[in-house]
Amino acid sequence: MPDKYDVVVIGAGPAGYVAAIRAAQLGLSTACVEQWLDAKGKVRLGGTCLNVGCIPSKALLDSSYKFAEARDHLAVHGITVKDPGIDVPAMLERKDKIVDQLTGGIAGLFKHNGVTAISGTGKVLSGARVEVTDKDGKVQVIGAGNIIIAAGSVPVNIPPAPVDNKYIIDSTGALELTEVPRRLGVIGAGVIGLELGSVWGRLGSEVVMLEALDDFLPMMDAQVAKEAARIYKQQGLDIRLGTRVTGAEVKDGAVVVTYSSAGGEKVETFDRLIVAVGRKPRSQELFASDSGLTLDERGYIFVNDYCETEAPHVFAVGDVVRGPMLAHKGSEEGIMVAERIAGKKAQMNYDCIPSVIYTHPEVAAVGRTEQDLKADGVPYKAGVFPFAASGRALASNDAQGLVKILAHAENDRILGCHIVGPSAADLVQQVVIAMEFGSSAEDLALTVFGHPTLSEAVHEAALAVDGHAIHIANKKKRS
């Protein structure tokens, strides 16, 4: 192993492994340090996303939706399925196989591109050096022309509900339940809580979600959040806003939860309790005191718009820096940094980063919300189109939700798009591309969309911005 590399990446999650691969593609000698180990004690690539986050949760979401569809939604198609059952261990085995395939794929990509994977925990030292401590406590120091920190994030724990990952579990434990809880409590009704609650709710759990905030999905457009809340309630998710958990105790094989709300102190009993109150940057013990790195008040590593830290030749990307904790945001930051190290003038457009909640229907967004625009005094116009008026959605028996496009009232430039509905994650990407090119709502309105497709809902929403929608009655008619 060389004593020095052009680039040393700490962390092999979506931000880190992508940065490492791109750096190697650009001709830079690259090593990637990862502390995650598989059952055999070998380095496991992919980070939280591939191992216990994005990928396994989507595998369970897909499996659980297929079960719910067979149980509840096929009769309308004339298909009869009698008493469908769910084999939870088989579902988990499928999930694990997908994880193994993808993490193994990264190892293959590292080998193909010449990236050296180093097993251990990385720590940034002064003078562009990285200290690596392996599982046995052996320490080595590696020199680096440049360092990219991509250490990721960890679940947030709260004192009233100490995680034991048997009865009170975090998001990782929620992916390993071997049987369906009769009654499931979820602390937090954000992205993680909604996805995990949806999985087990579809499989038969009575799901109660305890959310401390008074507003549901406040980071989303209010109209879309309201529509999503209506749909989730219809699906059986019991979402209780303004509830603050004050205690959780395991008694007789169950979890007794106390919480306060507008109605006073209350007590609920659950078979299992998921703590899904968010994630925090994995920034502790990541660098020496004389490394030149600093943290902000929330524990994020301080960086500029190009992910440069205050230490020369040290960069930080992904969940350890400001901005949304999204795998694709971290990946693109990793590419930007690798290219800048190689002398290219790469940059990120932080105004065009989509976010998705993978419930069914999906919720997806990019850009500004209507409430943000109002608060900032930005003149805007909005176009909304419901999937109930989409021929393709109706043919699929999947017509809940809507598409909403926001554009500047003066220059018509698209400012945001918000969707709750079928394939929202893929549909919003069409608007992301349009926004990246500075498109107007009229540009989308003048684009030919295939028929019948779900994408036509995006087209109609763009038409509706100026009151020109064809397949719904416009609120205002304009020439």
Of 150, 143, 166, 176, residue with least CA distance to 57:
176
Q: Write the DSSP string, 21-44.
A: HHHHHTT--EEEEE--B-TTS-B-
**Residue in the block written with tokens 């549901």:** 216
Two structure tokens written together for 178: 């071997």
- Strand order in 168-169's β-sheet? 168-169, 272-275, 183-187, 206-210, 238-240
Q: Tell me which H or E stretch contains 217.
A: none
DSSP 174: G
**Contact, 295 vs 274, CB < 8 A?**
no
Residue 276 in contact with residue 161, Cβ under 8 Å? no
Reduce the secondary structure of 360-389 to three states and give it as a string.
Answer: CCEEEEEECCHHHHHHHCCCEEEEEEEHHH
Task: Name the burial class of residue 229, with classes exposed (0-12), middle (13-18) and buried (19+) by CB atoms within 10 angstroms of its CB.
Answer: middle
Cβ pair 433, 418 in contact under 8 A: no
Task: Give bridge partners of residue 404 from the DSSP assignment.
Answer: 384, 418
Q: Considering only CA atoms, which of 247, 250, 241, 290 is closest in space to residue 267?
A: 247
| Residues contacting residue 146 through CB under 8 Å, at least 6 positions apart | 6, 7, 8, 128, 313, 314, 315, 341
Find the catalytic residue in 418, 451, 459, 471.
Answer: 451
Which helix H or strand E contains 243, and what residues bound it? none
For residue 96, count other CB atoms closer than 10 A to its CB.
Answer: 14
Cis peptide before 218 (omega within 30 of 0): no
Closest CA to 16 of 38, 55, 46: 46
> Quick check: is 451 catalytic?
yes
Candidates 248, 257, 326; CA nearest to 49 is: 326
Q: Own/partner pairs for 452-455, CB < 8 Å, 24+ apart?
A: 452/390, 452/391, 452/392, 452/395, 453/392, 454/387, 454/390, 454/392, 454/393, 454/421, 454/422, 454/423, 454/427, 455/427, 455/430
Count the neighbouring beta carbons within 10 Å of the beta carbon of residue 139.
Answer: 11
| Catalytic (active-site) positions | 451
